[in-house]
Structures are given as structure tokens and as C-alpha cells.
Amino acid sequence: MSRKSKIILLLVGIAIFTYLVLDFGIDNILTNFHKTGWYFVPVIGVWAFVYLFNAFAWRLIIGNSNNKITFRKIITITISGFALNYITPSIAIGGEPFRIAELKESLGTSRAVSVTLLYTMIHILSSFVFWMLIILLALISLPLTTATKITLVITLIAFSAVVYFFISRHKKGVAKSLLNITLKIPIIKKLAAPLSGKADSLQKVDDQITELYLKRKPDFFLALFWEIFARIIGSLENLFILKAIGIDINFSEALYISAVSSLIINIFFFMPLELGSREGGLVLVLKTVGITSSLGIYLGLVN
């Protein structure tokens, strides 16, 4: 993406964000901040547990055979990596090179690349599994319109195909496949061309990726569990924030809000710093569960 495109998207995001904030009213936002009060403590505490469970998953992926990497270091790299992803304009991949750089001294370059790719793959896979679980929960327990239900069923079918694809990549590897794809894309094939002569190194990375699913399947599914559980716990953030300002909400609704808003953010992944996409997504999803949609602005700001 060109610098000009990034600047345009950033300005669009700022414009959307500004419109939504002004539409809700700055006075209303300040009033709700005051109402939240001590609820900020559990809201922040939720993310401490989320990153802890993320680190559990990565520890399983790395494996216990390597004692050079302490759990404390894994947590530090996990938090720093996600922070870099968040502040990376347009595409949240700034944390991956950092993770590789931090691990390669202890694990070697190929192993550092493979465990970072593996974690990213499982992190993405957990998103789709989480969305599928919440869609099923919403269809069963929430009073949704017929149009919303049809949309969710279609989405569920599409996500099932995506999950199947990711599982197949864990069986067959991803590094060489990604290279073959990038070599066919005119814009980036020149950047990927130097890697075409490193087939052995890429195969080594793929072998390490497939090893987790084929030879350490319990670790694979336990890592996936921790990632999904982290997302479930993360939904408590929305529950606490809305409870703080007097909104009667149950955990099922909080899960639904978290799942749908995160899906919208991922659809608009190209928006720098998630400006506008987070708040806009929350406005849309709150409306579907009968909560004043404008509160999505406040919810997004606290998020």
C-alpha cells in the first residue's frame, strides 16, 4: 500500500471517528467516563488474563524441550508484539518481526520463524472458531431478526470452510505456499524473489509447522483452547463497561458484541489504528441486541 493510500485511509478513519464522537456528544462521553469509575480496574485486569492465556498458547507451541525461553520472557514478547501490531498502520503485522528477532538467538532463525508463524496461524484460527461458537450461541439464545439469522447462518458456513483451510495448512505447511502465491502477485513478487532460492530453509520452516499438528496434536488443540478462552475472557471487558453505565447486559450478549465487533474490525483491517472501524462496528452490533447504538462510541473509546 502506497504512503498516499495510507494517509487517505488515516484521514478517512479520523473523519469517521470524529463524526461518531460528535454525534454521540462529548458531554455524554465524559459523563459515562465518570460513571465507569472503579470499573476501569476489572476492565484493565481482563487484559492481564487475556495476555496470560495468549502466552500459555505460545509456550505450548514453542514446546517444553527448550528451556532457554522463560515464561516471563514469553509474556513480555507477547504483550510487546500485540502492542506493535496495534500501532502498525494499515496491517497489524509489526509484532511478528519483533517476535522473530527476540526468539532467534535462543531458537535459531528457522525455529523462531516457524513458532511465530504457528502462533499467528493459531491466533487467526481461534478467531474463526470463536466467531462460529458465538454465532451458534446467538442463534440459540438471542432474539434476532430473521434477516440477521440468515446472515449468521451464511457466515457460519463460510467460516467452516476457512477453518478447514487453516487445519489443512497445519497439516501441509504454509511457508512455501505463501512464497508461491506472492511470486504470482505483480506488486510484491520482486520483494519475494530472493526467497525463491531458499527452498531448503522454507521446507525446514514448513516441517516445523506441520510437526505441531502431526506429532504434538494435544499441544496444538490445547494452544487453540487457550486462544479461544482468551477471547471469551476478553468479552468481559464489554460486560464491565456497559454494566458500569447502567446497561443491563448478560454474558451471552457481551460475547456476541465482542465477536461481531472484532469481525468488523478484521474486515476493515486496512484502517490505520482501527480508527472508525472499532467504533462503527460497535454502533452496528449494539443496535442488533437492542442497546442504544450510540453507546458504541463510548465503548470503543474505553476499549
Count of the separate structural domains present in the chain: 1
Report the pLDDT value the prediction gives residue 184, as an integer from 0 to 100: 55
Q: Cα–Cα distance between 53 and 59 in angstroms, integer?
A: 10
pLDDT surpassing 80 at residue 275: no
Compute the mean pLDDT over every residue in the chain, rounded to the nearest whole number: 75
Q: Which domain holds residue 104?
A: 3-302
Give 176-231 as a 3 state SS string.
HHHHHHHCCCCCCHHHHHHHHHCHHHHHHHHHHHHHHHHHCHHHHHHHHHHHHHHH
- Phi and psi at 184, nearest 5°, equal -100, -5
Q: Cα–Cα distance between 47 and 82 in angstroms, integer?
A: 12
Q: Are 205 and 100 in contact (CB under 8 A)?
A: no
Return the higher-pLDDT residue of 12 and 211. 211
Amino acid at 187: I
Sign of the torsion formed by the C-alpha atoms of 198, 201, 203 and 206: negative
pLDDT surpassing 50 at residue 230: yes
Q: Are 82 and 264 in contact (CB under 8 A)?
A: no
Sign of the torsion formed by the C-alpha atoms of 119, 125, 130 and 131: positive
Q: At 9, is the pLDDT very low, low, confident or very high (cuts 50, 70, 90)?
A: very low
Return the higher-pLDDT residue of 168 and 94. 168
pLDDT surpassing 80 at residue 161: yes
Q: Cα–Cα distance between 161 and 124 in angstroms, integer?
A: 14
Taking alpha carbons only, the member of 176, 159, 182 closest to residue 210 is 176
Q: Are 289 and 16 in contact (CB under 8 A)?
A: no
Cβ neighbour number for residue 48 with a 10 Å cutoff: 11
pLDDT surpassing 90 at residue 224: yes
Distances (CA, A) of 268 to 13, 50, 91, 135, 148: 10, 23, 10, 20, 20
Average pLDDT over residues 216-238: 92
Burial class (CB within 10 angstroms; exposed 0-12, middle 13-18, buried 19+) of 60: buried
Model-wide pTM > 0.85:
no
Burial class (CB within 10 angstroms; exposed 0-12, middle 13-18, buried 19+) of 70: exposed
Return the higher-pLDDT residue of 26 and 80. 80
- pLDDT tens column, 35-71: 566 666 777 788 889 999 999 999 999 887 656 788 8
pLDDT surpassing 70 at residue 114: yes
